[in-house]
Amino acid sequence: MMERARAENEQGQLWLNIASSAEVLPGYLNLDNSIYFRLEPLLPIVRHLFSSERVRVIDRFRRARERAPVLIHDCRKRLPFDEESVDHIVCSHFLEHIYPDEATRVLADFRQVLRLGGTVHIIVPDLAAMVQDYVAGSRDADALIRATILSSPRRPTRRFRVLEVLGYEGLRHRWMYDRQSISRRVVDAGFELIDVSGVPSRCVRAEDGIESVHVSARKSAGRSERG
């Protein structure tokens, strides 16, 4: 387990950014399992082994680590923190990349590590907005399927499948949500819904507009812990 004191921010709080990719947040401990974070320390050695495009991606992750602390962690698995030791969690565009039963376990784990009164901020793509565009004729069926990322126009390569199984690249969506369904999942995990304006990460991905659903909640008393 990681000691809280090692990860606290300047406010004396422990804030987690789950599955951050290179979109790290200062003031947060950013957790991600990207292979690019693993390759980043080796960039001077492997620079000549990759295409220039891939090198730019690795360098982007290197610069991300310079902006904020990063912990390499498979975010499908239990968080390495004691119960009731975390003040706030933001989880942006991750739950749609895992199966619903995994999402249930992840949310239960969030509740377990959050202190009483701690908050969570879930952000997912809005399936309703995508479907509304389709119904309105703004996109055809092919564009709708591409937007959901629930499938691919061609069979994935063996390398892609191996990396995805290992949790390195969650490039495909496993499930999609609208506001009602993701809110229900958060409430079922034992949280009390609150307005997004009341959480530290309220401005995260605000630029997405209607393309993303933001659901914020608080860990309150009266619900039993779920393992």
Angle at 52 between CA 42 and CA 43, to 5 degrees: 10
Q: How far is CA 2 from the centre of its chain?
A: 20
- Which pLDDT score, from 0 to 100, does residue 222 have? 66
- Which pLDDT score, from 0 to 100, does residue 168 have? 56
- Which pLDDT score, from 0 to 100, does residue 227 have? 39
8-state DSSP, 139: S
Q: Measured between alpha carbons, how far is residue 33 from residues 18, 46, 61, 94 in Å?
A: 10, 19, 12, 12
**4-124+177-219 is classed in which CATH architecture?**
3-Layer(aba) Sandwich (3.40)
pTM, 2 dp: 0.91
- Which pLDDT score, from 0 to 100, does residue 170 have? 58
Please list the rounded mean pLDDT of every run of 10 residues in the chain (227 residues).
91 97 97 91 85 91 96 96 97 96 98 98 98 96 95 81 63 92 98 97 96 97 54
**Domain extents for the chain?**
4-124+177-219
Any idea of the CA torsion for 134, 138, 142, 143, to the nearest 10 degrees? -100
- Which pLDDT score, from 0 to 100, does residue 226 have? 40
- Which pLDDT score, from 0 to 100, does residue 17 have? 98
Which helix (H) or strand (E) element contains residue 62? helix 52-67
Is residue 122 within 8 A of residue 91, CB to CB? The reply is yes
